[in-house]
Amino acid sequence: MSKIFKKSFVSLVKSIYGPEFVPLHRPIFAGSEKQYLIDCIDSNFVSSVGEKVTEFEREIADFTGSKYSDIAIVVSKELSADELIGSIKSLKQADLVDVNLFDVYEGEHIEQGSKSVALNLTYQSTEVTLTDEQLAEKVSKIVAHLETNFSAKLR
């Protein structure tokens, strides 16, 4: 990463939050986002906890062109999240850079023998900024794939 880009990135973050440090939580980053944050952390400008995390992550996503979508699906209790994630990745969908599990729920409002699995899908194009419509189309293809192959139901 060039020093000029690093300085402009840190300047962007400081313009959003001021000269104080920016508190963060454990985020999920894709593409170059992780390196950008490492540079900020190495400069002692940000930490890993605090109240402005969502706003900061949204600004980082806008800056890098990343888009995120969370989906929650109900599937058989016997099905592992790794199987779902592997199946999604096997689609080799353009611009899908990461798939992460963030919640599994069994209990009230979920049919017996089933569970709800919540996944975070991260998209980032190196060529264009993805529109919300493009993101929705990509996510609907993944949901259709899960419905067809695992009898998943969107929650």
Give the Cα separation of 77 and 75 in Å (integer).
Answer: 6
113 Ramachandran zone, left/alpha/beta (phi>0; psi -120 to 50): left
The answer to whether residue 141 scores a pLDDT higher than 60 is: yes
Give pLDDT tens digits for 18-77. Answer: 766 555 555 566 677 778 777 777 776 665 555 566 667 667 666 666 777 899 999 999
Q: Are 104 and 81 in contact (CB under 8 A)?
A: yes
**62, 30 Cβ separation under 8 angstroms:** no
Q: 24 and 78: one domain?
A: no
In this prediction, residue 14 has a pLDDT band, given cuts at 50, 70 and 90, of confident
pLDDT in tens, 86-131: 999 999 999 998 898 988 999 999 999 999 999 999 888 877 778 8
Query: Which pLDDT score, from 0 to 100, does residue 42 have?
Result: 73
- pLDDT for 79 beyond 90: yes
Find all residues with CB under 8 Å of 139, minimum gap 6, and list them. 69, 71, 121
- What b/e string do you get for 47-81 counting C-beta neighbours within 10 Å, with b at 16 or more? eeeeeebeebbebbbebbbbbbbebebbbeeebeb
Block residue for tokens 């020093």: 3
How many domains does the chain contain in total? 2
Q: Which two tokens stand for residue 17?
A: 């939050």
Is residue 72 located within the same domain as residue 55?
no
Q: Are residues 33 and 81 in the same domain?
A: no
Q: Pick from 64, 88, 109: which residue ends a domain?
A: 64
pTM of the predicted structure, to 2 decimals: 0.60
pLDDT value of residue 145: 97
**Domain boundaries, position 144:** 67-154
Per-residue confidence (pLDDT) for residue 45, from 0 to 100: 61
